[in-house]
A = this chain, B = another copy of it.
Amino acid sequence: MLFSTKAEYGVRLMVELGRQPGSQPVSLGSVAEAENLPLSYLEHLVAKLRKAGLVTSTRGAHGGYRLAKPAEEIQMDAVVEALEGQIAPMECFHDSPEGKVLCSHESDGDHACSTKLLWMRVQGGVTKALAGTTLAELVEFSEHSAPKRAAAISAA
């Protein structure tokens, strides 16, 4: 499995927030009930989203969470990365300060890391899929009927 339920639940949570029309905050409890997910586990996940600046919170009674930006401006790579940590195909991949992806096996002596080409391509495919999908798309997808959905999937 590429991702755990952290990404699954967290994305569901984000979509649920994106569904709300008004600007008043939505309590985690209502999200948990709507999506049938454990409240106390969602608390951990939403904390990651908040620290990543994807949602804002208001405390106290009638408090809750709302999106920090319009759903159209939220790319899913940011959401998944906030929940799962850095999206790298392999342990040895890490972001260098300059933003490039490196492989720590690079200096292996006679021949360079033979897997780098493969993982670079995989990472490219994943980030392209994630960054090319906005939260607004998912919200719309979830609200419309089945026939429309089949077409949307291939429009990546």
Contacts and interface: CB of A to CB of B under 8 A. Distances in A.
A61 interface: no
Contacts of A121: 129-130, 132-133, 153, 156
B92 A8 contact: yes
B15 A120 contact: no
A134 to B, nearest CB: 10
Copies of this chain held together in the complex: 2
Given A121-B153, A156-B125, A2 B88 contact: yes
Interface in A91-119: 91-92, 111-119
Interface of A: 1-5, 7-8, 11-12, 15-16, 76, 87-92, 111-126, 128-130, 132-133, 137-139, 141-143, 146, 149, 152-153, 156
